[in-house]
């Protein structure tokens, strides 16, 4: 018999745009006993988590719950449920994840029109609004924080103009939720998808989503109750179309990612759909509890501070930062790989010799930039200082000429400045 060794994953400093390190409190919550999915103790945890998610998304929406699966499942659930085959969809793209939205919207039958900006920049909201008037879409779908390029799109003006034109505005806030302000209601976003393994610092495997009554109306118009769950009053099936109530609309084609069924499961009627991921929900609840204990504003400020220390350090070592600084995503910092340096070799040495992980990028940026994440539990002073020291050493080892010792000093300077501006530190 083969004797497999005990699992013994190394402890890392994870400075990527996800997955990131997880607070030990979340890891502990993952190990609690299982409860049955209709146990009142468990449904109370479900309800409480919905309340916490409303605070996270800054919304009064009735619906705020996790979809089981990685963030991509949340995106797919929202797009599958809201895009009816033939719907006109406008997708502004400024990086890899915008292309993913296009990919999914097209697969579910949307008539997609895209507009694109060069990677490293974002849209002037007026450009998106002009495209809306040209395309007259039913939906506008776009990314808030584009992790592939480290850019962040201002959304407020776009949301306002969508609402005025009665267009549904759907936003991928997977990378930003819990790290930078995401104002679901104030920015008129009809559906928002978050992520767990980035600024929330909960393991990958759930996708918190929220949507308002405007989105729900569309979802309900496309509802089809599963065959084995129908009650006599649930009206009759029209072949190929769904239930009579929904005959004006094509029913939602996914079963697993059908928001109309998921919301029934998350409502007091608890209409059975899948089996909720017990342990993951414990983890998510604990991650949200930590976030609410810290306070959203304090958390956003913490992310800003460590970004400032990191960029000060990188600039002091002479690194060149990638992208338009006016729209930099605070939780991802992109560094141009110097001419003649093997970016993957630098990353491998950081991981092997220092236990620190940073990321590369995709598509046109592959081999051209490194991406450093400062997200959630990984966004800490000790991580920033260790990374700067190690990065400098590894770059020197790779023959890059740089002013040795300056990076950590520059970051320490930022921390000291911040400490002296706060009476309590």
Ligand X SMILES: *Cc1c(COP(=O)(O)O)cnc(C)c1O
Cβ 174 to ligand X, closest distance in Å? 4
**Least separation in angstroms between CB 67 and ligand X:** 11
C-beta of 104 vs 291, nearer to ligand X: 104
* 373 within 8 A of 16, measured Cβ to Cβ: yes
Alpha carbon distance 376, 287 (integer Å): 10
Q: Where do contacts with ligand X occur on this chain (CB under 6 A)?
A: 17-18, 70-72, 97, 143, 145, 147, 172, 174-175, 195, 204
Can you tell me the distance from the alpha carbon of 85 to that of 138, in angstroms, rounded to the nearest whole number? 11
Closest CA to 273 of 40, 78, 68: 68
- Nearer CB in complex with ligand X: 42/362: 362
What is d(CA 195, CA 71) in angstroms, rounded to the nearest whole number? 5
CB 14 within 8 A of CB 378: yes
Greatest Cα-to-Cα distance within the chain, rounded to the nearest angstrom: 77
Beta pairing class for 191-193 and 168-172: parallel
Q: Which two tokens stand for residue 320?
A: 């060149």
Closer to ligand X by CB, 179 or 313: give it: 179
Which residue's CB is nearer to ligand X, number 264 or number 307?
307
282, 28 contact by CB (below 8 A): no
Tell me the closest approach of the beta carbon of residue 172 to ligand X, in angstroms. Answer: 5
Question: Smaller CB distance to ligand X: residue 153 or 383?
Answer: 153
Q: Which residues of 112-145 are buried (b: 16+ CB within 10 A; e: fewer)?
A: bbbbebebbbbbebeebbebbeebebbbbbbbbb
- Which residue number, 75 or 310, has a Cβ lying nearer to ligand X? 75
Rounded to a whole number of angstroms, the minimum distance from the CB of residue 299 to ligand X is 18
User: Would you say 58 or 72 has its CB closer to ligand X?
Assistant: 72
Q: How far is the CB of 374 from ligand X (least distance, A)?
A: 14
User: Whole-angstrom Cα distance, residue 246 to residue 249?
Assistant: 6
Minimum Å gap between C-beta 98 and ligand X is 9
Nearer to ligand X, 17 or 137 (CB): 17
Residue 163 assigned ligand-binding role: no
- CB of 77: closest distance to ligand X in angstroms? 12
Nearby residues of 80 by Cβ (< 8 Å), 6 or more positions away: 104, 108, 252, 253, 254, 257, 258
Q: Is residue 377 within 8 Å of 288, Cβ to Cβ?
A: no
For the CB of residue 96, give the shortest distance to ligand X in the complex, in Å. Answer: 8
3-state secondary structure 256-288: CCCHHHHHHHCCCCCCCCCCCCHHHHHHHHHHH
Local structure of 147: helix, strand or coil: coil
Whole-number Å distance between alpha carbons of 339 and 10: 32
| CA angle centred on 290, ends 285 and 292, rounded to 5° | 90
Closest distance to ligand X from the beta carbon of 14 (Å):
14
282 Cβ partners below 8 Å, 6+ apart? Answer: 29, 30, 32, 45
Residue 14, strand partner residues:
357
Q: What is the DSSP letter of 180?
A: S
Q: Which residue in this structure is represented by tokens 């239930």?
A: 243
Closer residue to ligand X (CB): 106 or 234: 106
Residue 350 has, within 13 A of its CA and on its CB side, a CA count of: 28
Instruction: Please state the residue numbers annotated as binding site for substrate.
Output: 371
Instruction: Please state the residue numbers annotated as binding site.
Output: 371
């Amino acid at each position: 018999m083969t004797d497999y060794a005990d699992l013994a994953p190394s402890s890392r400093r994870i400075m990527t745009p996800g997955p990131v390190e997880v607070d030990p409190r979340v890891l502990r919550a993952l190990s609690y006993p299982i409860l049955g999915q209709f146990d009142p103790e468990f449904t109370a945890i479900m309800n409480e988590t919905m309340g916490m998610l409303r605070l996270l998304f800054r919304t009064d929406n009735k619906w705020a719950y996790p979809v089981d699966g990685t963030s991509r499942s949340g995106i797919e659930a929202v797009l599958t449920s809201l895009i009816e085959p033939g719907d006109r969809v406008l997708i502004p793209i400024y990086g890899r994840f915008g292309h993913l939205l296009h990919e999914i919207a097209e697969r579910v039958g949307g008539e997609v029109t895209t507009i694109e900006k060069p990677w490293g920049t974002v849209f002037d909201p007026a450009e998106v609004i002009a495209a809306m008037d040209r395309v007259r879409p039913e939906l506008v779908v776009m990314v808030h924080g584009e992790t592939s390029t480290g850019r962040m799109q201002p959304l407020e003006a776009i949301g306002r103009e969508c609402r005025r034109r009665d267009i549904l505005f759907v936003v991928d806030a997977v990378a930003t939720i819990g790290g930078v302000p995401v104002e679901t209601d104030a920015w008129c976003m009809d559906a928002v998808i978050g992520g767990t393994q980035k600024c929330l610092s909960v393991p990958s495997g759930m996708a918190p989503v929220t949507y308002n009554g405007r989105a729900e109306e569309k979802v309900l118009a496309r509802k089809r109750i599963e065959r084995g769950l129908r009650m006599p009053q649930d009206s009759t099936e029209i072949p190929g179309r769904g239930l009579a109530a929904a005959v004006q609309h094509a029913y939602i084609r996914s079963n697993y990612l059908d928001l109309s069924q998921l919301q029934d499961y998350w409502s007091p009627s608890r209409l059975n759909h899948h089996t909720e991921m017990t342990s993951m929900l414990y983890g998510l609840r604990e991650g949200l509890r930590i976030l609410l204990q810290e306070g959203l504003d304090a958390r956003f400020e913490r992310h800003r501070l460590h970004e400032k220390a990191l960029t000060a350090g990188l600039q002091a070592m002479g690194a060149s930062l990638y992208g338009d600084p006016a729209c930099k995503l605070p939780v991802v910092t992109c560094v141009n790989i110097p001419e003649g340096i093997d970016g993957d070799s630098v990353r491998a040495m950081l991981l092997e010799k220092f236990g620190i992980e940073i990321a590369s990028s995709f598509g046109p940026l592959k081999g051209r930039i490194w991406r450093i994440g400062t997200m959630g539990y990984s966004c800490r002073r000790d991580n920033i200082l260790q990374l700067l020291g190690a990065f400098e050493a590894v770059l020197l080892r790779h023959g890059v000429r740089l002013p040795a010792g300056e990076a950590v000093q520059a970051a320490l300077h930022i921390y000291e400045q911040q400490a002296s501006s706060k009476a309590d530190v």
